[in-house]
Amino acid sequence: MSYNKEAYEARKLSDPDYHRRRVYNLRYPDGDFEAYNSASHCVICGRPFEPTGRQRKVQDHSHKTGKTRGVICHNCNMSLAYVDMVGTATLVKYYEEYS
């Protein structure tokens, strides 16, 4: 089976949840897609979303459970990934030691 970019893009437009299901195996619980679609600001930093770049909109989700959490910007999403990687306690200890 070969990749057909036009068909993939058309499917994404006709089924907004398609990309998340296919790539991340994420499914929106009832109403979550509407919440994602209508979100205009990151729930962590409060900045408005931009179409591209670090302030673009992403659906935060748990990699352990697959459950969706909130609509955040890419920058905050990367920060959460780092915290998950090193652990909150390690960051707090470092911050307290060097503040």
**CA atoms of 21 and 66, how far apart (whole Å):** 11
**CA atoms of 41 and 38, how far apart (whole Å):** 9
For 5-97, the fitting CATH number among 3.30.200, 3.40.1800, 1.10.3470, 3.30.70 is 3.40.1800
Residue, of 5 and 73, whose pLDDT is higher: 73
For residue 78, give the nearest of 49, 56, 52, 46 by alpha carbon.
56
Question: For 19-59, how does the pLDDT look when each residue is reduced to its tens digit (9 = 90+)?
Answer: 666 665 556 655 567 778 889 999 999 999 998 889 999 88
Residue 69 tokens, joined: 């959490």
Q: What is the pTM of this model?
A: 0.64
Mapped onto helix, strand or coil, the DSSP state of residue 19 is helix
Domain positions in the chain are 5-97
Q: How confident is the model at residue 69 (pLDDT cuts 50, 70, 90)?
A: confident
